[in-house]
Amino acid sequence: MIVTVTLNPSLDRTIEVDELTRGAVIRTRSARLDPGGKGVNVSRALLANRVACGTVITAGGPDGDRLQRLLEAGGLRVRAVPVAGHTRSNITIVEPGGVVTKLNEPGAALTRPELDAVAEAVLTEAETAGWVVACGSLPPGVPDGIYAELCRTFVPAGIRVAVDSSGPALPAAVEAGPDLVKPNREELAEAVGRRAERLGDVVEAAQELRKRGARAVLVSLGADGAVLVDDDGVVAGEAPVTRPKSTVGAGDALLAGFLAGGARGPRALAEGLAWGAAAVRLPASRMPGPADIRHDIVHVYEHPDLNRPLPP
Ligand SMILES: Nc1ncnc2c1ncn2[C@@H]1O[C@H](COP(=O)(O)OP(=O)(O)O)[C@@H](O)[C@H]1O
Ligand SMILES: O=P(O)(O)OC[C@H]1O[C@](O)(COP(=O)(O)O)[C@@H](O)[C@@H]1O
């Protein structure tokens, strides 16, 4: 069983337009509402593939109720912690070819008692869990060390912890010894203070995070695939998509597939890449099920070319 935690979930509204022009009135093509937030998406992807999972979210105001109802209607096991602030809405504007502009709200501030209630909910859910997966940005008022606190609670108890976050929360969590972190290229650059220009730079930066405390580092590289650096070494791979529809939630699908695939080595990376590519072929933040996932497009390299340049 995999338990995800999302402190800053959202209602994700995805709007399709022919072209995004600043300052203009734009008639949209279509709109769609999905439950959102990184941990929420990881759980949705796991559920779609019949992997046992549960999800802990904060929920506040009418949008919090709506989010909870949407998730429960989808069949997800949800533990919603009531909070005083209102659950946020994030807007994604998708142009043809899958070009995405995202407007992510900061989210409602959380108080210490509300954070304690979340920790309590995770502890209860995690009784039968193999993994606790903490994902997403931190809402205002939440200390940067909150994911580190989760690591210190669960890792010594033998429950593995994965963290997918951005900003100062990521390096803080790394120091607390998570089993896995999943930065994208920008998050990795922010965590180590330098940009990767070649695949080798990504590997070096991932090794640095391992030295600081993370057991395994899965770096997502958008259309360039992903790199895994773990106890077994370095593996890279990609799964090309010719007509991307929406990349929203692709990182979450990658992480879900990686965990479902055993969370270690080339097999898990291949599974993650297949799920990530499938998410990109689907509209909005729809999570892929078995009918969407193709393993035949995945290439995994156990001796990747570390000199391979990455796009600027
Ligand atoms: N244009 C694309 N074509 C193929 N796969 C993609 C594309 N964009 C993303 N992916 C897949 O989704 C994963 C996550 O994407 P990325 O943008 O790096 O993460 P995040 O959504 O966390 O920023 C990638 O590792 C890759 O497997
Ligand atoms: O917590 P953050 O960083 O604001 O991100 C939240 C947003 O990210 C998503 O989880 C999508 O994530 P990815 O595109 O990075 O995989 C959306 O559902 C949500 O609106």
Best mutation site among 6, 7, 8, 10 for ligand 2, i.e. most ligand atoms within 8 A of its Cβ? 10
Query: How far apart, in whole angstroms, are the C-alpha atoms of residue 288 and residue 130?
Result: 23
Percent of the chain with pLDDT over 70: 100
- For residue 97, the model assigns a pLDDT of 79
- Our answer to whether residue 252 is catalytic in this structure is yes
- The Cα–Cα gap between 66 and 57 comes to 13
CA separation for the pair 253, 306 (Å, rounded)? 25
pLDDT in the model for residue 305: 95
Q: How far apart are CA 233 and CA 229, in angstroms?
A: 6
Q: Are 192 and 156 in contact (CB under 8 A)?
A: no
User: Partners of 309 in the beta sheet?
Assistant: 198
- Tell whether ligand 1 has an atom less than 6 A from the beta carbon of residue 268: no
Phi, psi (rounded to 5 degrees) for 275 = -70, -40
- CA-nearest residue, atom 24 of ligand 1: 222
The active-site residue, picked from 12, 179, 224, 252, is 252
User: How much distance in Å is there from the Cα of 281 to the middle of ligand 2?
Assistant: 17
The alpha carbon of 251 and the centre of ligand 1 are apart by a number of angstroms equal to: 6
Q: Which of 211, 202, 292, 188 is nearest to 245 (CA)?
A: 292
**The token pair that represents 84 in the structure block:** 């005083």
∠ CA 106-108-114, rounded to 5°: 135
**pLDDT tens digits, residue range 252-278?**
999 999 999 999 999 999 999 999 999
Domains, the chain, ranges and CATH?
2-301 (3.40.1190.20)
Q: What is the rounded distance in angstroms from the CA atom of residue 31 to the CA atom of residue 259?
A: 31
The model's pLDDT over 70-124, given as tens digits with 9 standing for 90+, comes to 999 999 999 999 999 999 999 999 998 778 999 999 999 999 999 999 999 999 9
- Token pair of 202 as six digits: 């990504």
What 8-state DSSP symbol labels residue 87? P
